[in-house]
Structure formats: C-alpha cells, structure tokens
Structure 1
C-alpha cells in the first residue's frame, strides 16, 4: 500500500526538488510557490488533505475556478496564460509525487491547460531602438555613474538578447575581450543554469568599458562581483532595470509597454530580418528547442508581407 503525505509537505518536497535537481531560478520558484499555495487552499476547501486523495475531478475543478471570477470573494478570473502556468505547477507536483512513490496515480495527467492566444513578440524598429539606447540616463537629475550604467545596460541588452534576470545576474568576470577590435563576448546563464557565450559588438563594448572605468568604481561601495550596481553598491534589481527601460522608452517617444524583454524580441527579429539562420538565433537566445525560436519568423514574415503589399504593382 502506498503511503500518502499531506499536500503541504508534498509541495515542500517538490519545491526542494525544483531547486536542488532542476536548478529552478528564484523567480520561477516564487511563481510555483504562489500557484501551489493557491492549489492547496482549493483542496483544503474541498476537504482534501493529502495528494493520494486527489482525483482528476479536483484538478479539473481547480482549473475551472482559476478561470472564473468570484466578486463576493474578491477573486478575478485569471488570463489563460496565468491559468496555464498554475496548471503546469500542479501537473509537475502530481508527476513528481507519483514518480516519488508518494501517490499511486497521477491525478493531473489528463488535465490539459488552456491554450493561450498566440501573441507575436513586439519588436522595436531599429531606429527607435537606437534612439531609446541613446536616451538612457538622459535626465539632468541622473548622476554620471547612473547615466553610464543605464547606457551600458541597454547596449548590452540589445547586443546580446539577454533576459532581464540574465543581465542583472552578470558578474564582471562574465565579460571578455571588451578592448579587442573585433568586439568581445559575454557569458549568459539562462534557465536551468545553462551557459551560453554571446558576442558583443563595438557599441556595447565601448559602453560597458566606459561604465567599468568611469562609473562602477563610484558605485562599488560594498565590493562584490556584480556587474551592474545600484546607488547603494548592491546588485541591481529587476524593478530598477524595468524602470530604466521605461524611462528611456518614454524619452524616446515609444509606447509605455516597452520592457526589458522587448530588447530580446528586437534582438531576435532584427537578426532574422538581416538574414541570420534560425538555428544560430536559437543558440544566441538560449532556447532549448528551435520551436520556441520560430515565433520570431512569423514577425519577419508579417514585415515582408507589409512591404510586398505596399510595393508590388499587383498587390492590390
């Protein structure tokens, strides 16, 4: 007979598994913890206190509850993408529990997440991207160290296609060859701790060098290896990076929804527009599957279609 465990203890074991064996990031772990705590409360309300007693109907009810608003309880309906993320956490928990021998049956195996609407990445046009980079740290109240840091961050984001977490997680030793005429390189650590080396062009190298020589020493009051520092000398936060991007976008006259990830989208789209092979772009982005990268080809096809529609004499 298979022994059962409480839902709470099994969730703790699963989260430990994600950290130790899967190398989950702090951000991913926090999201899973929130979703699974919501699931635990849902099971508590149904009188279920151990995973061995969970049925497929319980999981289906949870998925339905996430998609349904409850004004009296002050609960809003989640977007399909948020429901899919929460259900992925639940499915992972049950799969882990079954493989670990804690439950005899995977109650969530047959419950499929909703299919979120496919949204194409928004790429910033090249000229607007350059204007945004040049607008970084452009206010009179910004100190020189902050201006140089912000310019270096945006140059590096666009040059490397780094995720926000990868950029703020950089250490000084992750950079190489910034003084070489042909450009340097940066080591990025992606999801699951996977490393990749991405080349950097001269604009990014010069901006980062200027920051390292003229700005970082003034910010590095605490010491430490972090590349990008805040005013207190600590590693820069995701929120600060977001604020820097939003401010630069606003000064460049771009829409307010431009985010650090917009730089990653633009990096990939502009490479493909320039004729880069999709497999090369896959490696540069750190995607484990080329299928993930293929969404950017849809963007470039749309661009080609617009140009064709405007320029071909038989387009209309």
Structure 2
C-alpha cells in the first residue's frame, strides 16, 4: 500500500545551512544544541528538529538584511520568518513546532546574555489540530496477535522475535524506540515487568501479562540464541545479523501482522501504543495510572485517549440503542 507523501517542501540539510551562517550566529546554534542535549536531556530527534528550526530562523535573520548578530533578532524578524514558512506551505502542526522551537531558543539566548530581551513570548503559538489516533478494536488486536503467533509456531527465530515484539508493544504501550532499546537485564519475568528509559532519560517500570511473558520466553530460549553473535551485547531484541533490532524493522513487522486482520486500520507501533492506552481506559484504568505506564510528562497528553473512548461509546450507542 502506497503512503501519501507530504506536500510540504523539503528543507535543505540544516548542517549545510549552519556552515554558511556568520560565526556569531553559528556559535549561538552550537550553544543551543549543547543546552538541549546536555542540560535538558532531550532525545536526538527532538534536538535535531529544534536545531534545524533555529538554523532556518537565523538563516532568515542573516539573509533578510545582512544582520550578523543575535542582538538584532526581534519580534518582527520572528514574524517575518514564520510568514515565509507559511507561504512555503508549512502545515499548522509544523508551524506550531517551529514557533515552539523559536520561543525555546530566544528564552535560552536571553539567559545566555545573547539577547537584550526575549521576543518569544510575544509570538503567538498556532493551535495544532488534535486528531483522534487510529486504534484497533480489542478483537482486531487479538486477531493480530493470533496471526503473529501462528507465524511463530514453526520456530523461525525472526517470527518468534516479531511475535514477542508485537505482544510486548500491546501489553505495555511502550514506544518502539524504548522497546528496541531494551536489554536482557531490563526484563524481570518473575515479576513480569520491564524497566524502560523514556524521553528525557526518565526511567519507569511497566508491567506485562502472561501472553507477552510466554512470547518473550519462547524468543529468549528458542529464538534469540539462533541470532546472537559475539558482538550482540545485551540487547533483548536482535536483527538477523545479530545487532540490536532496528526500529524500522520492528515497524514493518507490526504493520505486517496488523495487515492480516480484515478491516483493521493501518497502524504501526504507535498505533499499538494508542490501542493499549485506549483499551486500558475502556477496561476501567484511571487516567493517572495510564499516564505513568505510557511515560507521559503531563496528564494533558494522556487525556487525548479519553476522547477516543468517548467516540467508541458514541459509536456503540448509535449502533445498538433503539432510540439513538
């Protein structure tokens, strides 16, 4: 199935643009990047996104009128930059992220005494459309697990691994990067919990049930030993060459398993995470507990799933109530 491509223009590589910035602006980018990675402990992907946006902003600053110092960055430059982004076809969610990146940067620059004042708070943040995530019904999730288990019956190590990945993703709701980052010692099968290092290097302990435990047991005893190599290290899930499992490979295996279920939405690992959260809430779990399990920094993020469950209830009511 072909995927729709984004209509947004592709940005040039920000490293190449960074190299062309005047030295004072380039030094500011480097300091901001160190701040995000070392002081705030943000993920590599988040740091790359924020730094790329700031490089675009400073490229606009230097190119618009030849300005070479950060002290000349004011609210008019910020608005001009965002207006140019909008004219180039940036989506509302992209505009919101770039606005957030700019405000984070100007706040840091003020503390670093690179700006005389902070224009960021005067920059309005575009509201991001909140889309309800696609989730599996419980019967569809069960069918995907059964299809995956059937593929693992022959004992093929890759099939055993993929079944364990699918079961653990659905059982815990962890992110795919968190799952691929697990080491063998992060799993306590006696207590049926895993130790996860999430965003911002925050650690949490997440429980899992018997089906996931059984799938993990088959992978660890019958699958992993066939793929492990001398340089595999302690990684729990391995690729066919013995290295740590790549998240892209894990995503493909999830899509393949869900794709066998007739009528199921095309969801990947993030869809399994959404499904796990939704089914927990539908089963009576409280919002705070789900927040802790998913590793959300704020309850507002977890509250998105309450909208999903309400939509489910409305659909059931419309389909079954005689006076709906």
Does structure 1 residue 154 correspond to structure 2 residue 166? Answer: yes
Q: CA deviation at 1:143?
A: 8.1
| Aligned counterpart, 2:218 | 210
The partner residue of 1:269 within 278, 290, 295 is: 278
Q: 1:174·1:187 contact (CA, 8 Å) conserved in 2?
A: yes
Bigger helix fraction: 2
Does structure 1 residue 58 correspond to structure 2 residue 77? Answer: yes
| Aligned counterpart, 1:25 | 43
Q: How does 1:176-191 map to 2 (within 5 A)?
A: 176=188, 178=189, 180=190, 184-191=192-199
Normalized against structure 1, the TM-score is what?
Answer: 0.89
| Aligned counterpart, 2:113 | 101
1:19-61 per-residue CA deviation (whole Å, 9 max, x = no partner) reads: 1111111221222232223223222321232221111111111
* RMSD of equivalent CA atoms: 2.1
Q: CA deviation at 1:98?
A: 0.4
Whole-Å separation in 1 of the counterparts to 2:180 and 2:321:
45
User: Cα–Cα, structure 1 residues 137 and 200, in superposed 2: closer, same or farther, change >3 Å?
Assistant: closer
The partner residue of 1:15 within 26, 30, 33 is: 33
Normalized against structure 2, the TM-score is what?
Answer: 0.86
Aligned residue pairs total 300
Q: How does 1:172-251 map to 2 (within 5 A)?
A: 172-176=184-188, 178=189, 180=190, 184-221=192-229, 222-251=231-260
1:58-107 per-residue CA deviation (whole Å, 9 max, x = no partner) reads: 111111222223xxxxxxx1211112112222211111010111211112
**Which range moved further: 86-95 or 147-156?**
86-95
SS of equivalent to 1:187: strand
The partner residue of 1:122 within 121, 134, 154 is: 134
SS of equivalent to 1:112: coil
Q: 1:137·1:146 contact (CA, 8 Å) conserved in 2?
A: no
**Which range moved further: 32-41 or 56-65?**
32-41
| Aligned counterpart, 2:97 | 85
**Which range moved further: 149-158 or 125-134?**
125-134
Whole-Å separation in 2 of the counterparts to 1:12 and 1:89:
15
| Aligned counterpart, 2:17 | none
Whole-Å separation in 1 of the counterparts to 2:146 and 2:94:
35
SS of equivalent to 1:14: helix
The partner residue of 1:304 within 313, 317, 323 is: 313
Q: 2:32·2:51 contact (CA, 8 Å) conserved in 1?
A: no
1:156-197 per-residue CA deviation (whole Å, 9 max, x = no partner) reads: 100001011111111111100x2x4xx600111111111111
| Aligned counterpart, 2:323 | 314
